[in-house]
Amino acid sequence: MIRFYNGRVLRFGGGMRVTQDEVWTEGGEIRYVGETPETLPAFDRQIDLKGDLLLPGFKNAHTHTAMTFLRSYADDMPLQDWLYKQVFPHEAKLTPDMVYTFTRLGILEYLSSGITASFDMYVKNDAYAAANIDSGFRTVICSGLNNFDADPENIEREYLKFNALHELVSYQLGIHAEYTTGMERMRYAVELAHKYKAPCYAHLCETKAEVQDCIERCGMTPPQLLDSIGFFDYGGGGFHCVWMSREDIALFARRKLWAVTNPCSNLKLASGIAPLDELAAAGVPLAIGTDGAASNNALDFFREMYLASTLQKVTREDAAAGGADRVLEMACVGGARAIGLRDCDDIAPGKRADLTVLNLRRPNMQPLHNILRNIVYAGSKENVRLTMVNGRVLYEDGEFFIGEEPEKLYEQANTACRRCFS
Identify residues 303-362 at the interface with its own copies (CB under 8 A).
303, 306-307, 310-311, 313-314, 316-321, 323-324, 361-362
Give the shortest CB-180-to-its own copies separation in angstroms: 19
Stretch that binds its own copies, among 186-194, 231-239, 347-355, 375-383 (CB under 8 A): 375-383
Neighbouring residues of 214: CB distance < 8 A, sequence distance ≥ 6: 178, 179, 220, 221, 222, 225
Q: Which is nearer to its own copies, 28 or 406 (CB)?
A: 406
Residues touching its own copies: how many (CB under 8 A)? 72
Q: Which is nearer to its own copies, 63 or 266 (CB)?
A: 266
Give the shortest CB-222-to-its own copies separation in angstroms: 19
Could you tell me which of 308, 377, 372, 389 has the C-alpha nearest to residue 56? Answer: 389
Q: Which is nearer to its own copies, 98 or 189 (CB)?
A: 98
Q: Which is nearer to its own copies, 106 or 199 (CB)?
A: 106
Q: Which is nearer to its own copies, 337 or 381 (CB)?
A: 381
- Are residues 254 and 224 in contact, defined by beta-carbon separation less than 8 angstroms? no
Site string for its own copies, 40-79 (x = CB under 8 A): ----------------------------xx-xxx-xxxxx
Cite the beta strand spans of 35-153 per DSSP E. 45-48, 53-56, 58-63, 115-120, 138-142
Q: Which is nearer to its own copies, 224 or 364 (CB)?
A: 364
Give the shortest CB-298-to-its own copies separation in angstroms: 4
Q: By CB under 8 A, what part of segment 107-166 binds its own copies?
A: 108-109, 112
Burial class (CB in 10 A: 0-12, 13-18, 19+), 18: middle
- Are residues 302 and 113 in contact, defined by beta-carbon separation less than 8 angstroms? yes
Neighbouring residues of 38: CB distance < 8 A, sequence distance ≥ 6: none
Q: Which is nearer to its own copies, 181 or 412 (CB)?
A: 412
| 378 binds its own copies, rule: CB under 8 A | yes
Give the shortest CB-236-to-its own copies separation in angstroms: 27
Q: By CB under 8 A, what part of segment 178-217 binds its own copies?
A: none
Give the shortest CB-273-to-its own copies separation in angstroms: 6
Give the shortest CB-297-to-its own copies separation in angstroms: 4
Give the shortest CB-221-to-its own copies separation in angstroms: 20
Give the shortest CB-372-to-its own copies separation in angstroms: 8
Stretch that binds its own copies, among 141-149, 158-166, 277-285, 366-374 (CB under 8 A): 366-374
> How far is it, in rounded angstroms, from Cα 60 to Cα 35?
31
Do you know the residue count of the chain? 422
Cite the beta strand spans of 87-126 per DSSP E. 115-120
Count of C-beta atoms within a 10 Å radius of residue 165: 17
Give the shortest CB-90-to-its own copies separation in angstroms: 11
Give the shortest CB-200-to-its own copies separation in angstroms: 29
Residue 340 amino acid letter: G
The secondary element (H helix, E strand) that includes residue 400 is strand 399-400
Neighbouring residues of 371: CB distance < 8 A, sequence distance ≥ 6: 8, 18, 53, 360, 365
CA 222, chain centre distance (Å): 22
Q: By CB under 8 A, what part of segment 79-108 binds its own copies?
A: 79, 82, 105-106, 108
Q: Tell me the angle at which helices 154-165 and 125-135 cross, rounded to the nearest 10 degrees.
A: 10
Residue 145 amino acid letter: L
> How far is it, in rounded angstroms, from Cα 246 to Cα 235?
19
Neighbouring residues of 374: CB distance < 8 A, sequence distance ≥ 6: 360, 364, 365, 368
Q: Which is nearer to its own copies, 106 or 174 (CB)?
A: 106
Q: Which is nearer to its own copies, 205 or 336 (CB)?
A: 205
What b-and-e string marks burial along 215-226, b requiring 16 or more CB atoms within 10 Å of the CB? eeeeebbbbbbb
Q: By CB under 8 A, what part of segment 381-410 binds its own copies?
A: 381-382, 398, 406-407, 409-410
Q: By CB under 8 A, what part of segment 247-306 binds its own copies?
A: 264, 266-273, 293, 296-300, 302-303, 306
Q: Which is nearer to its own copies, 316 or 392 (CB)?
A: 316
